[in-house]
Structure 1
Amino acid sequence: MSKKWIVGVDLGGTTTKLAFITTDGEIVHKWEIPTDNTNEGQKITVNIANAIDEKLVEHNQTKNNILGIGMGAPGPVNYEEGIVLNVVNLGWPDQYPLKDRLEAATSLPAAIENDANCAALGEMWIGAGDGAKDLVCVTLGTGVGGGVIVDGKVVQGINGAAGEIGHITAIPSGGAPCNCGKTGCLETVASATGIVRLARIELAKGRKGKLSEKLAENGSITAKDVFDAARNHDEVAQSVLDEISFHLGFVLANIANTLNPEKIVLGGGVSKAGDILLDPVISHFEKFAFSAVRDSTKLALATLGNDAGVLGAAWLIKNKVNQ
């Protein structure tokens, strides 16, 4: 008899990642489907169920070999009840009973968690967390997400909204508006969108260099362009990098001063910049963390990339089975 599988799902606004994963955290097969958010997102769970059925046929497997389905969804989640509280871009009404809908569509036991929390669980289980039971994961992508794990358990908060690190206020007055309705959130400076915004502000001052050439050439710039230009000692890019790393280091030090985790893991697309981002963040972190924390909490880059979410989602089911 082959090992039992778990279905891990990472639900995004445009695509949904799916994977068959063993209880040891080995990915057997992974694939993506488009997320259909028309009609109040009613087709999302049905499409996922159909995609699983098709792949099981391809692999000559039946549902008897599946332990359950874990899913990471964007936005605050009530984990116990499997309810997504509110999601901006999926079309679902508030208080959406995702666990019930998913179980009805797939005939499998389901567990639902916030997507950044799933990424944190994935990194804890198989990735950069390296088995650390006290871990903070920060995902730097289009936005900034976060997951806090204490003693191997995700910190939920009273309303499922704990770990929203992207909405810590980094700029208390005169900050840029954030999609959450506040201003000056960390997300407005440390996300891919925020990095481009900061670079455009500097370039609008007429500052010249590799980054201004890139903008003139393409009519647009990306966060990757900013990091590439910083590697080539472009002054504008370097000043943007200084600002991002200051805010990240400052916020992460305060999180560490509060929680003293074993690891803080930086993931998401922006973290692919690597050491050019990590090194200055660490130096600011060390400035603002007090000694006991500075000596014990380590910063690391995530190692799982896009697989963190599906692996953490699978871990939800593995953990339920083990209880």
Structure 2
Amino acid sequence: MDRQYEHIFTGDSDHHGFLSHHSDQRFDSLDQEGVEGRNRKDTRIPGHQGIRMVAMEPLLIGVDVGGTNIRMGVVTPDGHIPKKIEYPMDMSRGGLAMMEGLVSRLQDFIQQETGRDRSEIRIGIGIAGSIDMKRGLLVTSPNLPDLHGFPLQAYLQERISYPIIIENDANAFTLGEGWKGAAKGSRHYCGITLGTGVGGGIVVEGEILHGSEGMGGEVGHMVLNPKGPLCGCGGRGCLEVYASGSGIRRRALEANKKGKGKKILKKGRGDIKKVTSEEVFEAAKEGDRTALKIFNEMGRYLGLGLVNLIHLFNPEKIVIGGKVSKAWDYFIGSTTEVVHQRTMKGQREKVQIVQTECGDDAGILGAAYVALKLE
């Protein structure tokens, strides 16, 4: 650990009108003051009236620090990714060592992929956890428990000579979908990431909601059942314990203790400890009743969470991504059923629940978009 940082630590429902697999063409133009509309600079990117920027186009690097993998890509100012890489996240030596590895990889990537030094390189990094945007602190992170309270912005900036900005990974996903994906052109929408945990981003009047301390939008920790299973945050019954990959795995383990889910166990090669949400998904595709029931239940809890978001923020769209969203066909029916039943009339007819269009690239795009907005 760098000594200078040691003192910092403190330790099928389409007929309801709100379900779509693709973005509606009504929201297809960026010049309607969507997530780009607040960026006030001198000129605009050709073909996109909503983005303003300096005359010299910057080279953008978007980095998505996930729970198991790290992705980074070169992103053009109009949102294309000509080059990207992905590698496993190594936490064997702790969070700071992982960050050192990230810096080394990033430096190499910049040199190799840009081919030369660029004065206009900007880097955006999306990372799981609560970010104090004003001070550049990683307040808490489920994947980096030894870096709570860490001055991440300063640490990275001292080692990389280009402008850097950090952002919550779910916010980056949400911004990526607003820039180039399923929420393109929308001014009021939410992004939900279903992975190892559950993340969320909320866009109101074209601006991502950070809250007073930069910790707003913790969708995964809205409480659905005060007496429910223990969550990693220390609370009980959060959306995350029901709708995440870890929550799906927990339900599979519970079913196994009752002698159910034989195909799930088979997918884990007979070892229940090797079962993840992916094995449950594979079993569901083969018609395993237990796996299908798990996804149906997961979808209903997700629906309850979405009802809360709809009532609070009245979004045009809710975009769902993350690795668990690949099981879309197995949970979305129960999700939309709950939303239709429990959402107030007048809101349920308007909101669209849509699947990610950017896929795994959303985080890279969103991180790059945040960098694009740097003054």
8 Å contact from structure 2 (residues 199, 220) kept in 1: yes
Q: Does 1:204 align with 2:257?
A: yes
Q: Does 1:189 align with 2:242?
A: yes
8 Å contact from structure 2 (residues 255, 261) kept in 1: no
Unaligned stretches of 5+ residues in structure 2: 1-54
**What is the one-letter code of the residue matched to 1:286?**
H
8 Å contact from structure 1 (residues 203, 236) kept in 2: no
RMSD between aligned alpha carbons? 2.5
Alignment-derived partner of residue 72 in structure 1: 126
Report the alpha carbon displacement of residue 317 of structure 1 after superposing the two structures with TM: 1.4
Once the two structures are superposed, the pairs formed by residues 24-103 of structure 1 within 5 Å of their partners are: 24-35=78-89, 37=91, 41-59=95-113, 61-64=115-118, 66-90=120-144, 92-103=146-157
Report the alpha carbon displacement of residue 78 of structure 1 after superposing the two structures with TM: 1.2
**Which of 193, 213, 234 is the matching residue for 1:139?**
193
8 Å contact from structure 2 (residues 230, 241) kept in 1: yes
3-state SS of 2:126 partner: strand
Please give the alpha-carbon distance, in whole angstroms, between the structure 2 residues aligned to 1:223 and 1:26: 31
**What is the one-letter code of the residue matched to 2:213?**
N
**What is the one-letter code of the residue matched to 1:177?**
L
3-state SS of 1:184 partner: coil
Deviations 1:47-78 (CA, angstroms, capped at 9, x unpaired): 44433443344345333254311111111001
Alignment-derived partner of residue 170 in structure 1: 224
Deviations 1:166-204 (CA, angstroms, capped at 9, x unpaired): 11112222x111111111111111111111211332342
Alignment-derived partner of residue 257 in structure 1: 311
**What is the one-letter code of the residue matched to 1:162?**
G
Alignment-derived partner of residue 165 in structure 2: 111
8 Å contact from structure 1 (residues 37, 91) kept in 2: no
**What is the one-letter code of the residue matched to 1:292?**
G
Larger mean Cα displacement after TM superposition, 222-231 or 17-26: 222-231
**What is the one-letter code of the residue matched to 1:155?**
L
Deviations 1:278-321 (CA, angstroms, capped at 9, x unpaired): 22211111111111111111101112222111110000011224
**Which of 268, 271, 276 is the matching residue for 2:325?**
271
8 Å contact from structure 1 (residues 13, 90) kept in 2: no
CA 52–205 in structure 1, closer or farther in 2 if over 3 Å, else same: closer
Report the alpha carbon displacement of residue 101 of structure 1 after superposing the two structures with TM: 1.8
3-state SS of 1:293 partner: coil
Larger mean Cα displacement after TM superposition, 305-314 or 14-23: 14-23
CA 294–60 in structure 1, closer or farther in 2 if over 3 Å, else same: closer
CA 158–231 in structure 1, closer or farther in 2 if over 3 Å, else same: same
Alignment-derived partner of residue 36 in structure 2: none
Question: Between Structure 1 and Structure 2, which shows a larger proportion of helix residues?
Answer: 1
Q: Does 1:285 align with 2:339?
A: yes
Q: Does 1:295 align with 2:374?
A: no
**Which of 50, 64, 70 is the matching residue for 1:16?**
70
CA 184–133 in structure 1, closer or farther in 2 if over 3 Å, else same: same
3-state SS of 2:82 partner: strand
**What is the one-letter code of the residue matched to 2:357?**
T
TM-score where L is the length of structure 2: 0.77
Please give the alpha-carbon distance, in whole angstroms, between the structure 2 residues aligned to 1:215 and 1:55: 36
Alignment-derived partner of residue 157 in structure 1: 211
**What is the one-letter code of the residue matched to 1:285?**
V
8 Å contact from structure 1 (residues 209, 235) kept in 2: no
TM-score where L is the length of structure 1: 0.89
Deviations 1:127-165 (CA, angstroms, capped at 9, x unpaired): 111221211111111111111111221111222221111
CA 54–178 in structure 1, closer or farther in 2 if over 3 Å, else same: same
Alignment-derived partner of residue 371 in structure 2: 317
Size of the aligned set, in residue pairs, is 320
Please give the alpha-carbon distance, in whole angstroms, between the structure 2 residues aligned to 1:74 and 1:177: 20
Please give the alpha-carbon distance, in whole angstroms, between the structure 2 residues aligned to 1:30 and 1:84: 25
8 Å contact from structure 2 (residues 303, 339) kept in 1: yes
